[in-house]
Structure 1
Amino acid sequence: MYFIKIDPCKSTLTIGIENMWFKQSLIEFKFGERNEFYVKGTLGMEYIVEELQSSKEYLVSVNISVCFEPNKSKCYIQRPIAKDLLISKPQCNWNMDFKTPGFSLKSWMQSNQFSIHNKLPVYANYLLMEKLGVSNHLLKQSCHQNRKLEQMTVNRWIEECPLTIVKPQLQNGVTCTLTHSCTGVECCLDVELIDRSIFFKLDLDPCNHILLLSIENLSYNISLFNFDWGRDIRFSLENVFRIDYSIYDLSSSRLFQIDMNISACFETTGSCMFSQRVLTKTLLVKKPCEWVTGFVNANFSVGKWKADNNLQDKQYLHPTEILRLTEALGIKPFLQKDKCDKYREPYSKNIQGFSSGCNEVLRTITIPQDVVCHVGELCTEISCCTETEIIARTLETKLIIDPCDFKLTIAIERLLFEVDLFHFEWGHQKQFDLYGVMEVS
């Protein structure tokens, strides 16, 4: 039996042949590279794992072999069993029990004859972290060594965000930083019992629509497109170290309202050893994102990308290759699930590329055949649907002027910007792009 198991919740990859197996951390794993696993040089598995972060999927290719000679080209059996197999990442259950069900630190220390009031010896720390299942996720360098204590304010916050944001007083033993983005929080918690500090991070990226959560080196990305706003959610490292949070998106005010609590817990029942309310209904300001970003990779070339992936220059792309390309371009999370269609409303009744719900007589221009546009009934909004041959789909762009709220909205697929027209530079040509792939001018 050959098997491969990917566990994104515990950041592990396990490869096995019969009763021989090998587990490695995904934190240092090199995605996209060819790997081998052999048992005594006879039973072999070659595998490639690619991570599609934005769509929360893996692409897996696996070949198996049975060899009786050192020359691997003359193996008795060589078979591909998976080629670009698309595997979705599972939803992680962060409300899990301890690795050892019913674990109690008090009972563990009594049985090992340690005092709850003293720091544990180094070897006991190692045993405890192994027992709790967190040892593989601890940072090599404890976060207290990186703290900028000279910048710490009286309420134990380190200020990096240039904006004035009200934050609570923190307890002794914990320091937090509101990062330069003004929507990210990093905390360092001293746990005296184990004589080390634990790193916590919650980072909202409204420009790329991602929430990043980290405890030590365990990290997890969550898309904000279908996020459960306002719900109490927990992220934990084996239920020992926890981030409890809830987030509201106050989109009209360009704010996030956040509750966040960090804790260190060593008992199945009863209170945690340490718990700190970091944010309480705190309003964090979304900084404006750049209108023009260009390609994620400034030197990107479709021709080079095809060559690197062993594809002919004029070759049509397979769906999995399109998936790889949109991932490489950084546009995958912004693509609409229901793509626009010039044969469906509101574009189907177009004449020379234009359809209109506006009662005014409009002056139109000649547009390419692969583009259709629609003017909305308010006459101050226009959307266009453009065929994009290389990724075998259409892309939709929109521009809406709202004279009542004095606001301009511009969008490419699901990426949009809203602009206050009170300070808008009228008469100046502006550009807006989706990572260089689609540009609006």
Structure 2
Amino acid sequence: MVDRARLAGLMRQEQDRFVAEHPGSARLAEEAGGSLLAGVPMPWMTRWPGAFPLFVEHAAGARFTDVDGREYVDLCLGDTGAMTGHALPRVAEAVHRRALDGLTTMLPSPDAAWVGAELSRRFGLPRWQMAMTATDANRFVLRFARHLTGRTKICVMDWCYHGTVDETLAVLDGDRVVPRPGALGPQVDVALTTKVVPFNDVEALERALAPGDVAAVLMEPALTNIGIVLPDEGYLEAVRDVTRRTGTLLVVDETHTLCAGPGGCTRAWHLDPDMLVVGKPIGGGVPAAAYGVSQELADRLEPQMRGHEIDVAGVGGTLTGSALAMAAVRATLSSAMREEDFAVAVPLAAAWADGVAGVIAKAGVPWHVQQLGARAEYWFCPPPRSGAAAAAAVDEELEAFLHLWALNRGVLLTPFHNMALFSPYHVAADVDRHTEVFAGAVTALLGRD
């Protein structure tokens, strides 16, 4: 239903507007291009629809201001890194105090015990360790899984994403396991390390685990990094049953699905993983992650964790669990991502989804909306049940236009998806603004001016 010539013309107009309205960001982008690879300090920062990324001057709550003085409603929130909202006062105070008292000593700080107890309370797993990122935490738990089971392979969901973990950057091509498109320099053939199964396919999981050579299934309880793909009724219970019957450890990655509530989907849906990973949101913007294990696994791991050679075991890191990170996590979890915070954010996500659905219905386009807790997303197809179906529905030209149209009108969406994430700092007017902007984009796209 999309006229591609019209789409291209609208995109050119939006690109011209973007360049004209952001001379400060254009100047800084040119300067950065002289010393930074791809002109940015981290390559994902190129994944925006404008001719160059915005350079941000200030961010607080649910808004940020760029170097040209333009303010935006932030529905990306650092791709969940700022799920709590920007510049949390308690985190800023804790970081300042900790900086004056020393940031890292490779010894535990007084905040450590509180953080461990709070993670146990929220997620139900009794024993915890820290990491710098969810990528690190996922690598560590997979290493533990191979050590504990004596098995060499892991299993992941088709089109999943668990950070920059080599074994997880794998997809299905027919019945073959191949590197995910875009993966640079795979360390080894992923078919040697990894089995891949479609999300929501219990029979495929049964076949993958039947030989008894898989140490762990690593999965999100709902896919998020290929867009929101929700589990079928009874699917997660079936996954738990299959993993138990085959002696396979179940690892749940809640880094993005923490949007479902204070304890993520694990608490909201009464899941029972052997290990659990949670990443960036828990630090309020300061790099931090954590992984929890069952008591049975903790008892088995304890001798190695206290061993003389733990520093070369492939887990940990000098700055991991630093006094800075522990202070930030304590400040975040004691003042944010609580029941009262989700009581504000989740209804806003529902209202956003309703607004988008109303525009879609009025336009008569075959698009749909999905919601998971405090985040929601629109699709150009019926809600997919698998990662492959979600990947097949991606329309990069259309997404780029809708994102840039919104950005030019003061609304930032997550660059990798058509997704909005809400914090307690958002208000109903932010939802209404997006609905208005989205309606304008669809009207222009369909030529119904």
The structure in which a higher percent of residues are helix is: 2
The structure in which a higher percent of residues are strand is: 1
